[in-house]
Structure 1
Amino acid sequence: MTINILFAAKSGRWETYQGPLTDALEEAGLDFDLRPDFPPEQVDYIVYAPNSSVQDFGPFTNLKAVLNLWAGVEDVVHNDTLTVPLARMVDHGLTQGMIEWVTGHVLRHHLGMDTHINGQDGQWRTQVPPLAQDRPVTILGMGALGQACAAALTALGFFVTGWSRSEKAVPQVTTLHGTDGLQSALRTAQILVLLLPNTPATTDILNAETLAQLPRGAVVINPGRGPLIDDTALLTALDSGQVGHATLDVFRTEPLPADHPFWAHPKVTVTPHIASATREDTASEVIAENIRRGEAGEPFLHLVDRTLGY
């Protein structure tokens, strides 16, 4: 029996995904019909971007699952019309991209590279950075991306502390959880990396109170979600020297408005939400595998816990 798959995303994405998705579905041995338009009652699966025109799932009466193209699900997880399983995107390409971006910026700040890149003024600066083993790094968020980045950093010799809302065990990483665990994780973080999902419980998790718990001069790196940080509190901490630098890839409003103080602040590096992205070829393989699982009666990969919001 043919599986009807609706591709629901913004205009232009169909052209980039049609080929890779078709190839992956064929490789999985599925009999399918993949289109960007279907009568709702005929759809079995939706390959989904939360900014698509599909916002009411009620008419999709035979829907088996929604397969998100994004790692973040905050824009769909609370949709009351969505009653079928929702899977978020976890794929090798997205994970590897995040590992490379996070590792690169952690090393940049650890080695003090900005001083030499920006300081070509004739001064012979001889300050030697500590070894990685003497530079504590904390990662807030021990999901798939947080664990992958922690593994890469520990392989380089960094002492990594990981924090998550619920208790987790990660090899070679000191793992903490809960309110008391958050305070301990922040207290040692000379470099802090934010990889938490955006939920009501994580909004403004980095605020005036928590920023004050960091070692003075700590570096903040945020490739996670913009609302994790209270922007005003961060700017105040930067101006006071409590935070030495902030490298930010995500923001509450994107693109970041041209008049936002982050652009002109000498202690802020802005990157335009490029830390990682879903790659069409690897993402298509994940989607095809989940559809194969659904048809075989096997558990879906990367299911979202609707009560937690991720």
Structure 2
Amino acid sequence: MSILYRSDAPRAAAWASYFAEHATDLDFRVWPDAGNLEEVEYLIAWQAPAEFIAALPNLKVLFSSGAGIDHVDFSAIPEHIPIVRMVEPGIIDGMIEYVSLAVLALHRDFFDYVSMQPTGTWDPLEVPPASSRTVGVMGLGVLGKAVLERLATFGFRLRGWNRSPRQIVGVESFAGTDQLQQFLVGCDILICLLPLTEATAGILDRKIFSSLPKGASIINVARGLHLVNEDLLEALNSGHLSRAILDVTDPEPMPPEHPFWRHPRIFVTPHVASMTQPETAAPILLDNLRRHWRGEPLIGLIDRSRGY
């Protein structure tokens, strides 16, 4: 039984080492040393080209090496082949760390103090309690729930919005397009953790920003295509939005001349909020393989009709 890993090259050795120790009966291969592709039954991949998928006639399951599956061309994957996204502690922990850091930096005005330092300005700002701010999360999947759970420990008022209704203890929940406006008007800090689908592409636009209270900030840790760049610049330049923290952009990487790099109200990181960690992801994936062999439901199986 052959498994092919075609993803993050620097982490490939760690994946291979784990399978060599814990699954000696499996033929674990790392791209480009794939051998005969007709022997490959399981693929762990990120952005596998359609022509490559077509060269795997005996593929049984496609495992995304990350939490997102927007990189997968569904039309290139036969309907009978399950597509599974990565759900593992390393991804969750990384996202909790990043979003907590971003929310607290906005809440405690760290970026204002950074701008004061070059001029030697000592100007203490008011320190409001966390309970005076409302943080809203768009997308209440595994990551969204985990982020809200951690933010609750700081005392923020919490809101969540999802396509379908979700109930989370301590979180005021909203669902569907009918309740989106109601959700937004109370958010001082808005976090996007939505999956990227046709319905959510471009959702962070002028309409969304104008619905937020004046002085609100946004954090995008989902996908760059969720954001309409021009609309964000307009909202920041007009003073309606205060700041934006972006871990994802469109395009990636941004060219040096992109206006986001030099905008004083935008902070950019290079898509590093959360990454798959081999030491926690490999055991999860191996367990999923065994579930497939036993005919049990796969953890992280995506619904093609919904796109996530």
TM-score range normalised by the length of the shorter chain: over 0.9
Residues 4, 44 of structure 1: 8 Å contact kept: yes
- The residue number in structure 2 matching 1:113 is 110
> Are residues 16 and 256 of structure 1, via their aligned partners in 2, closer, same or farther at CA, if it must alter by over 3 Å?
farther
Pairing partner for 1:219 from 214, 217, 220: 217
Pairing partner for 2:66 from 66, 70, 74: 70
Structure 1 residue 5, shift from structure 2 partner: 1.1
> Are residues 18 and 205 of structure 1, via their aligned partners in 2, closer, same or farther at CA, if it must alter by over 3 Å?
same
> Are residues 53 and 178 of structure 1, via their aligned partners in 2, closer, same or farther at CA, if it must alter by over 3 Å?
closer
- State the distance in 1 between where 2:141 and 2:107 align: 24
- The residue number in structure 1 matching 2:136 is 138
- The residue number in structure 2 matching 1:234 is 232
Q: Within 5 A, what are the aligned runs for 1:86-105?
A: 86-105=83-102
Q: Within 5 A, what are the aligned runs for 1:14-163?
A: 14-23=12-21, 25-26=22-23, 31-36=25-30, 37-50=34-47, 52=48, 55-83=51-79, 84-120=81-117, 121-163=119-161
Provide TM-score, normalisation by structure 2.
0.92
SS in 2 for 1:57: helix
SS in 1 for 2:136: strand
Q: What is the root-mean-square deviation in Å for CA atoms of aligned residues? A: 1.8
Structure 1 residue 272, shift from structure 2 partner: 1.1
- State the distance in 2 between where 1:146 and 1:95 align: 9
AA aligned opposite 1:232: E
- The residue number in structure 1 matching 2:248 is 250
Structure 1 residue 211, shift from structure 2 partner: 0.8
> Are residues 122 and 43 of structure 1, via their aligned partners in 2, closer, same or farther at CA, if it must alter by over 3 Å?
closer
Structure 1 residue 302, shift from structure 2 partner: 0.4
SS in 1 for 2:98: helix
Residues 46, 71 of structure 2: 8 Å contact kept: no
> Are residues 292 and 309 of structure 1, via their aligned partners in 2, closer, same or farther at CA, if it must alter by over 3 Å?
same
Residues 2, 41 of structure 2: 8 Å contact kept: yes
Residues 50, 76 of structure 2: 8 Å contact kept: no
- State the distance in 1 between where 2:167 and 2:177 align: 17
- State the distance in 2 between where 1:261 and 1:10 align: 29
Residues 221, 246 of structure 1: 8 Å contact kept: yes
> Are residues 234 and 21 of structure 1, via their aligned partners in 2, closer, same or farther at CA, if it must alter by over 3 Å?
farther
Deviation string for 1:134-155 (max 9, x for gaps)? 1000011111111110100012
Q: Within 5 A, what are the aligned runs for 1:155-194?
A: 155-194=153-192
AA aligned opposite 1:64: K
- State the distance in 2 between where 1:124 and 1:260 align: 32
Residues 7, 47 of structure 1: 8 Å contact kept: yes
AA aligned opposite 2:25: D
> Are residues 12 and 54 of structure 1, via their aligned partners in 2, closer, same or farther at CA, if it must alter by over 3 Å?
farther
- State the distance in 1 between where 2:164 and 2:180 align: 11
Deviation string for 1:50-93 (max 9, x for gaps)? 2x456443443432211110111112152333331111011101
Deviation string for 1:208-242 (max 9, x for gaps)? 11110000011111111101110000000000001
Residues 50, 73 of structure 2: 8 Å contact kept: no
AA aligned opposite 2:290: R
AA aligned opposite 1:80: A
Sequence identity (%): 37
Pairing partner for 2:200 from 202, 216, 220: 202
Residues 10, 53 of structure 1: 8 Å contact kept: no
- State the distance in 2 between where 1:21 and 1:102 align: 32
Higher relative contact order (CA 8 A, sep 6+): 1
Flag structure 1 segments of 5+ consecutive residues without an equivalent: none
